[in-house]
A and B are shown apart, each in its own frame.
Chain A
Amino acid sequence: MEYSILVGGAAGQGIETLAGALEKIIKAKGFYLFSNKDYMSRVRGGHNFTQIRFSDSPLTGYWPELDIIMAFDAETLKLHSERLKKGGYIICDEKLAGEKPGLLGLPLEKSAKELGNPRVAGTIAMGAVAKLLGFSTEGLEEVFQKEYKEKIREINIKAFHEGYQMVTPLFDCGPEKEDRQILISGNQALALGALAGGVAFYSGYPMTPSTSIMTYLSEKQAETGIVVEQAEDEIAAINMAIGASYAGVRAMTATSGGGFSLMTEALGLAGITETPLVVINSMRPGPATGFPTRTEQGDLSFILSAGHGEIPRMVISVKNPEDGFYQIQRALNLADKYQLLVIVLSDQFFGDSSRTCLPFDFDSLKIERYLQKDLPEDHEHHLRYRLTENGISPRVIPGKFPGVTVLADSDEHDERGNITESAEMRIAMMEKRMNKLKLLQEELQEPEYLGVENPQYLCIAWGSTQGPVQEAIEILNKEGIAIGALVFGDIWPLPLKNLEKYAAHAEKIINIEQNYLGQMARLIRQETGIKCTDSILKYDGRPFNAYEIVQRLKKEVF
């Protein structure tokens, strides 16, 4: 059992709220769900839609064919009708309805007006969809309780029931199950992970698609006692976070490409001052302002070397909400452990798509700060950058110990932190900083492998394309094709074991990426000499889906 519903309309029509409520209803019925948003860079008008796919087994992406379209404007009919499956239905207002088969024109606007609020037309349609799917109304009170503010709750419940009466069940979803899952978007998972990971200071500047991370953290400020500051620009955002981290709290910032460009100068500052810092770059298509609300994996090459000079950095790409939640903790711990810059690479598809998954395990998490707890040995002249055996210097919170002062410097410096022009000290400090990567190598996570052992075809992917790639591999394996995929989470330093193992036997190696240049393939070639023989690339700003990957592999590779 599996269905896909598209909810489409203009910005400002309340599509997002409606889709959100519908998702909660489906989830409450115990189904697995995947949803993603497609929206335009405008506040009113334009065309926005949410695709909700649900099933009785786990889902990792969206599907292009649709069972139900909820059309709140003519544009939705025009753009998406072709995707309707045979036997599917389009729900819309009677005014929009024409002669098409499967078109269910309902008196949405009229009934909404009669109920006393034209804005509840969507909820009426939602009621109709719930009935089409054969859902019972049991247990939905709670969803309404959560989704609608008290002032408008009653009328929305009425509207839902009004719609529910209008139709008869047409789909069979099978039995409803107990709801044991959570439904969370990628950005929400990153924000929740940051809260669990002990982030106490967050400074950021709004930029789609990273903004919702800041919004969620900001909502929780008073309750958690953290500080979220909206900076004057991204330069300030990252420098503030570095200042807060130097002073001793866990600090983080997030942005998207253009903002990340502005942050590059300060990446080096975090690097040379060895200040722990986590920066999330939520990618959208560039260059410049690009496609503000859409998705791409176009910043990989840039972030690998962003900033002047050489600094150690770690780059982790996140794959799905669950992975994001755990990786952000790991990023925060590693940043503290190695006094290192960790860049978490996500994108619009990751950030704006939601999934059901099991509740996260908070009890297994630890906040590991690696801060000096006692008076440091060298406290007379505290050596912040002491050249130690393993290259990691003792880190002290300034102000914690009487008599101990901590000096951090963006210039090349000696062990105390004072400016130096000594060639020997430069060498020692460069090596001390870069050596961290050697240590880090020991705890890298290998890319996960999906598919049959000894594949004839090996796909390479990273980050948010994991979901669609996983599904595509499953489909092809079922068809008997010997294919597998390595999906990278840790990207830099590049983990090599699995890559070398699988690449040795594959006949063809295909990189699947959402960019033009095949940036991951380049990185792999540069680091290992392993060449991808084929590429499936996409750079239209729209996320991959499994169907499309399967079709393109068949057409372009096999």
Chain B
Amino acid sequence: MALDIKTYDMIGDNAWCPGCGNFDILAVLKQTLADLELAPHEVLMVSGIGQAAKTPHYINANGFNGLHGRAVPPAVGAKLANKDLQVIISTGDGDTYGEGGNHLLHNIRRNVDLVHIVHDNQVYGLTKGQGSPTTSLGQITSMQLDGVKVNPLNPVSMALGLGCTFVARSFSGAREHLSGVLKEAIKHPGYALVDVLQNCVSFNKVNTYKWYQDHTYFIDPDHDRTDLQKAFKLAQEWEQGIPLGIFYKVERPTLIDRIPWLKEGKPLIDRAWTPQDAKRFLADFQ
């Protein structure tokens, strides 16, 4: 029995622009948590800074709204401290692929059991429309007045290249699809990167809701998710149509699996320990 979606409602103002894709992602996330019967206290939402990063304020769950670019490290710290928490990261494309690039890189290697939802509006929202790492070459922005001069990053191929164990892309407007992807991401044991294309009504006049609708298509349900080469090939597609779906999904030991006392023992928060337990180490210095 799914929980009531209202369980996740939070009273208070929302600072997003009317019509923003963030609303769809939030609604889908709440529905997904309700469907999976995850109670608010079992979930921890971690974010950085930006519009996408305000998500923890709009959902009733535990929340840690940290620094720009730095969502992943506290999420990892929290998960290692309490492996029973379902930790979900919500960040923007600038936050994740720009300022937070180094953390993304190394946490894909760590393969901690986290879901990372990137609200990819291909622009910096909160700081009013500068190019982000995923803005298309030549796109005119509030900052790149004669067009972006650097190549866009391809998050999907990057994650595949780094050995990410779950790599998916969806679109905020494809609610059902997104919900399906999120469910699998939550169930996946390991680091799950979900790049969600999202319209920004205020600053991205190129990649609009309609543009995404017109340019995306769903990956064939028979796609072999364990075939890395095929995944790479799909990931290269953009101009002719943007594939949405789970590109790649394999199981590999997570960081916690590789720490035997953590894997088999209680969560760190429940570790019973007194100063006297450390007394035996005096022998090292005797």
In the assembly, what is the distance between CA of A201 and CA of B268, in Å? 8
Contacts of A359 in B (CB 8 A): 282, 286
**B57 near A419: Cβ-Cβ < 8 Å:** yes
**Which among B138-146, B186-194, B258-266 touches the partner chain?**
B258-266
Q: Which of A251, A329, A399 has the most chain B CB atoms inside 10 A of its CB?
A: A399
Known contacts A239-B70, A329-B275, A367-B274: A247-B54 contact under CB 8 Å: no
Q: Which of A164-199 contact B (CB under 8 A)?
A: 182-184, 188, 192, 195-198
B57 — nearest CB in chain A belongs to which residue?
A418
Interface: B16 (CB within 8 A): no
Q: Which of A184, A195, A232 has the most chain B CB atoms inside 10 A of its CB?
A: A232
Contacts of B84 in A (CB 8 A): 399
Interface: B250 (CB within 8 A): no
**B278 near A243: Cβ-Cβ < 8 Å:** no
In the assembly, what is the distance between CA of A393 and CA of B44, in Å? 20
**Which among A218-226, A340-348, A545-553 touches the partner chain?**
A218-226
Tell me which of A198, A225, A233, A409 contacts B102 (CB under 8 A). A233
Known contacts A195-B278, A195-B281, A243-B75: A408-B80 contact under CB 8 Å: no
Tell me which of A195, A225, A404 contacts B261 (CB under 8 A). A225
Contacts of B271 in A (CB 8 A): 200, 225-226, 249
Known contacts A227-B262, A399-B62, A406-B62: A367-B273 contact under CB 8 Å: yes
Interface: B82 (CB within 8 A): yes
Contacts of B56 in A (CB 8 A): 407, 409
**Which among B34-42, B128-136, B201-209, B236-244 touches the partner chain?**
B34-42
A225 — nearest CB in chain B belongs to which residue?
B261
**B81 near A247: Cβ-Cβ < 8 Å:** yes
Q: Mark B224-259, 1 if CB is under 8 A from A, else 0.
A: 000000000000000000000000000000000001
**A243 near B74: Cβ-Cβ < 8 Å:** yes
Interface: A67 (CB within 8 A): no
**A232 near B64: Cβ-Cβ < 8 Å:** no
In the assembly, what is the distance between CA of A400 and CA of B41, in Å? 8
Contacts of A192 in B (CB 8 A): 278, 281-282, 285
Interface: B66 (CB within 8 A): yes
Interface: B32 (CB within 8 A): no
Contacts of B41 in A (CB 8 A): 398-405
**B85 near A399: Cβ-Cβ < 8 Å:** yes
A241 — nearest CB in chain B belongs to which residue?
B77
B interface, how many residues as a size bin?
35 or more
Q: Which of A308-352 contact B (CB under 8 A)?
A: 329
Interface: B60 (CB within 8 A): yes
Known contacts A192-B278, A265-B67, A419-B57: A398-B12 contact under CB 8 Å: no
Contacts of B61 in A (CB 8 A): 405
Interface: B26 (CB within 8 A): no
Count of A interface residues, CB-CB < 8 Å: 69
**A408 near B73: Cβ-Cβ < 8 Å:** no
**B85 near A266: Cβ-Cβ < 8 Å:** no
Interface: B49 (CB within 8 A): yes
**A407 near B275: Cβ-Cβ < 8 Å:** no
Tell me which of B15, B81, B274, B278 contacts A249 (CB under 8 A). B81
In the assembly, what is the distance between CA of A241 and CA of B77, in Å? 6
A188 — nearest CB in chain B belongs to which residue?
B285
Known contacts A399-B62, A406-B62: A362-B269 contact under CB 8 Å: no
Interface: A56 (CB within 8 A): no
Tell me which of B15, B73, B82, B265 contacts A231 (CB under 8 A). B73
Q: Mark A263-285, 1 if CB is under 8 A from B, else 0.
A: 00110010001000000000000
A199 — nearest CB in chain B belongs to which residue?
B273
For the residues of B in contact with A, the DSSP-based class is helix
Interface: B220 (CB within 8 A): no
Interface: A543 (CB within 8 A): no
Tell me which of B73, B259, B282, B286 contacts A243 (CB under 8 A). B73
Contacts of B261 in A (CB 8 A): 221-222, 225
In the assembly, what is the distance between CA of A418 and CA of B41, in Å? 17
Interface: B27 (CB within 8 A): no
A233 — nearest CB in chain B belongs to which residue?
B102
Tell me which of B11, B49, B269 contacts A248 (CB under 8 A). B269
Q: Which of B69-98 contact A (CB under 8 A)?
A: 70, 72-82, 84-85
Contacts of A409 in B (CB 8 A): 56-57, 63, 65
Interface: A113 (CB within 8 A): no
**A236 near B44: Cβ-Cβ < 8 Å:** no
Interface: B46 (CB within 8 A): yes
**B63 near A201: Cβ-Cβ < 8 Å:** no
Interface: B175 (CB within 8 A): no
Known contacts A399-B62, A399-B85, A405-B60: A419-B106 contact under CB 8 Å: no
In the assembly, what is the distance between CA of A397 and CA of B270, in Å? 11
In the assembly, what is the distance between CA of A246 and CA of B76, in Å? 12
In the assembly, what is the distance between CA of A405 and CA of B56, in Å? 11
Contacts of A197 in B (CB 8 A): 275
Q: Mark A431-446, 1 if CB is under 8 A from B, else 0.
A: 0000000000000000
Least Cβ distance of A374 to chain B in Å?
15
In the assembly, what is the distance between CA of A232 and CA of B106, in Å? 7
Q: Which of A212-257 contact B (CB under 8 A)?
A: 220-222, 224-227, 229, 231-233, 235-237, 239-249, 251
Known contacts A236-B102, A398-B62, A399-B85: A198-B74 contact under CB 8 Å: no
Interface: B277 (CB within 8 A): yes
Known contacts A200-B81, A405-B62: A220-B67 contact under CB 8 Å: no
Least Cβ distance of B285 to chain A in Å?
4
Contacts of A329 in B (CB 8 A): 275
Interface: A411 (CB within 8 A): yes
**A247 near B82: Cβ-Cβ < 8 Å:** yes
Least Cβ distance of B87 to chain A in Å?
9
Least Cβ distance of A512 to chain B in Å?
29
Tell me which of B63, B103, B278 contacts A407 (CB under 8 A). B63
Contacts of B67 in A (CB 8 A): 239, 265-266, 269, 410
Interface: B279 (CB within 8 A): yes
In the assembly, what is the distance between CA of A227 and CA of B261, in Å? 9
Contacts of B127 in A (CB 8 A): none
Interface: B174 (CB within 8 A): no
**B77 near A203: Cβ-Cβ < 8 Å:** yes
Interface: A365 (CB within 8 A): yes
Question: Given A232-B103, A233-B102, A367-B275, list of 12 further CB < 8 A pairs?
Answer: A183-B285, A195-B281, A196-B275, A198-B273, A221-B261, A240-B76, A246-B64, A399-B85, A400-B41, A401-B41, A402-B39, A409-B65
The contact sample of 28 A-B pairs, CB cut-off 8 A, is A188-B285, A200-B268, A201-B77, A221-B261, A225-B262, A231-B73, A235-B73, A237-B73, A239-B73, A239-B74, A240-B76, A240-B80, A241-B77, A242-B74, A244-B80, A247-B44, A247-B77, A266-B67, A266-B70, A269-B66, A363-B279, A398-B41, A399-B41, A405-B62, A407-B57, A407-B63, A409-B63, A419-B54
Binding site for A on B (CB under 8 A): 10-12, 15, 39-42, 44, 46, 49, 54, 56-57, 60-67, 70, 72-82, 84-85, 102-103, 105-106, 259-262, 265, 268-269, 271, 273-279, 281-282, 284-286
